[in-house]
Amino acid sequence: MKNIIPALNKIQIVCQDRNAPLSDLGKARKELFAAIREAITDFAPGEVPNITPAIAKFRQEYLAKFDKLNGD
């Protein structure tokens, strides 16, 4: 969760810089998706003491959809 705000800040800075190449925006976007994915994966293990196979499968499918959204 701690990396989401810095990633959003990078996107904001790139958007405000009229001379920044679009590749910088793409890099900032990738960092934001990585920060969100990290927040998702770090949340469940500590919050759910007994992860069932069904929960693990749902989480895996959800992350696969998220990665597809990101273009990975």
Q: What is the pLDDT of residues 13-52, one digit of tens each?
A: 999 999 999 999 999 999 999 999 888 887 655 556 677 8
- pLDDT value for 13: 95
- Cα–Cα nearest to 41, from 28, 29, 59, 67: 59
What is the reported pTM? 0.74
Which residues, 6 or more positions from 29, have their beta carbon under 8 angstroms from its beta carbon? 11
- pLDDT value for 58: 87
Structural domain boundaries in the chain: 4-70
- pLDDT value for 49: 65
Rounded to whole angstroms, the Cα distance separating 10 from 49 reads 35
- pLDDT value for 66: 87
